[in-house]
Amino acid sequence: MPAPDSRALRHKVAIVGAAETDTVGLLPNHSMLHLHAESAFNALDDAGLTLADVDGLATAGPSPVQLSEYLGIAPTWIDGTSVGGGSFLIHVGHAVAAIAAGYASVVLITHGESGRSRVGVVGAGGGAGGNQTPGGQFEAPFGVFGPPSTFSIPIVRHMKRFGTTEEQFAAVAVATRAWAVKNPRALMRAPITVEDVLNSRLVAWPLHLLNCCVVTDGGGALVLVGEDRARDFPKKPVWVLGRGEAGAHSNISQMRDFTQWTHGIAAGENAFHMADIDRSAIDHAMFYDAFTHTPVYALEALGFVKPGEGGPFMAEMHTAPGGDFPMNTNGGGLSYTHTGMYGMFAIQESVAQLRGEAGERQIRDAKIGIVHAPGGFFASVSTLILGNE
């Protein structure tokens, strides 16, 4: 057997069903598992399938067996990779290999999180864990409190090394909000300015409130099948062209280089190798924005700009409506929705753009999209390249 090459799996598996929960935002009448189920039903409806057709299941948050029980299915391929908000991108990559190998024929990937209302939360949460864990011994005693105090730790080093400014990070929130204005489902839709961001209350300097994502309830799901039947569904298939993933640390204090996302570079290179395209082929980008600095690190890790150029690039508003690098067009985690593990929504928007279903925010002639996400605090990373031709 010749050495395997991921390029052999390019364009072999497609997303044929994609949907979110009926609404996103504040859903106090939905348990976490109900959000998964509503997403699953909506995505399967989108593909003209039912739960009876599903033989592969991947999810994060609850385990795939907890979800199988709730849905009443017994899938013969399961993936419970749960490494934070980007887990669903990783599931897509794993599903490509599983479908190509014949392990499964219809893979359902679900997300649902009662991030705001906290109803019926199932499964292991994040956090430092017990006081014997590395996080419990070497971070918790110093008063870290959730993502705003940990995900933010690298920022000052980026500022020190490259001269990135608070105004440049604030510009990310401004550009993203300008997209949210065009999305009727977005939680935050009033336009904002750099001054508004810098004048919002301090959360963990250099983070102000408007540098941080919203907190919501919601879910989304995807249905994937192989090339042999991908064209037999109601909607045009969205092909998986490339995927990459990596993991390197769990606790932010162990991040190898606070100025660049080193394993994010590896994930991106693997995705572009598999897709066999250049950066210039990308029409649309979804870079997970838990905070305003995460897309800056993504832009640099993926090679769209050189190290240190991410801040000025954002300040020049290339990513805003009308710009030449449309990014986070649903309004992102910053303004659209962020349930906790936002990666599913980043994929949903990429699919919507490639299907031409993005309404007022539609990018004309979008053919190839990239989705890139951290899980945890730059801990895991995942990249997808999707295409509609």
Query: Interface with another protein by CB under 8 A: which residues?
Result: 128, 130-132, 134, 136-146, 148-149, 152-157, 159-160, 201-207, 251-254, 258
Distance of closest approach, residue 206 Cβ to another protein, in angstroms: 7
| Backbone φ and ψ of 147, nearest 5° | -55, -40
Residue closer to another protein by CB (options 39, 292) is 292
Residue closer to another protein by CB (options 201, 364) is 201
Which residue is it, tokens 């336009």? Answer: 191
Residue closer to another protein by CB (options 233, 261) is 261
Distance of closest approach, residue 143 Cβ to another protein, in angstroms: 4
Residue closer to another protein by CB (options 171, 252) is 252
Distance of closest approach, residue 386 Cβ to another protein, in angstroms: 34
Residue closer to another protein by CB (options 76, 137) is 137
User: 291 pairs with which residues across the strands?
Assistant: 212
Distance of closest approach, residue 373 Cβ to another protein, in angstroms: 22
Can you say how many angstroms the Cα of residue 282 is from the centroid of all Cα atoms in its chain? Answer: 17
Distance of closest approach, residue 140 Cβ to another protein, in angstroms: 4
Distance of closest approach, residue 255 Cβ to another protein, in angstroms: 9
Distance of closest approach, residue 155 Cβ to another protein, in angstroms: 7
Residue closer to another protein by CB (options 146, 234) is 146
Residue closer to another protein by CB (options 155, 282) is 155
Q: Is the peptide bond before 75 cis (omega within 30 degrees of 0)?
A: no
Torsion over CA of 178, 184, 188 and 192, rounded to 10 degrees? 20
Sheet containing 238-247: which strands, arranged edge to edge?
A: 77-79, 56-59, 107-114, 217-226, 13-20, 238-247, 380-387, 368-375, 284-287
Distance of closest approach, residue 198 Cβ to another protein, in angstroms: 13
Compute the C-alpha angle 212/266/375, nearest 5°: 30
350: its two tokens: 């990429």
Cβ proximity of 247 and 87 under 8 Å: no
Distance of closest approach, residue 376 Cβ to another protein, in angstroms: 15
Residue closer to another protein by CB (options 186, 252) is 252
Residue closer to another protein by CB (options 142, 365) is 142
**Reduced to 3 states, what is the DSSP secondary structure of residue 20?**
strand
Distance of closest approach, residue 215 Cβ to another protein, in angstroms: 13
DSSP state of 25: B
94: its two tokens: 């794993």
78: its two tokens: 């399961």
Measured CA to CA, the distance from residue 311 to residue 287 in angstroms comes to: 14
DSSP state of 340: S
**Reduced to 3 states, what is the DSSP secondary structure of residue 256?**
coil
The identity of residue 273, as a single letter, is H
Which residue is it, tokens 């392990």? Answer: 103
Longest dimension (CA), the chain: 61
The identity of residue 350, as a single letter, is S
Measured CA to CA, the distance from residue 221 to residue 219 in angstroms comes to: 7
Residue closer to another protein by CB (options 153, 172) is 153
DSSP state of 334: I
Q: How many CB atoms lie within 10 A of CB 70?
A: 17
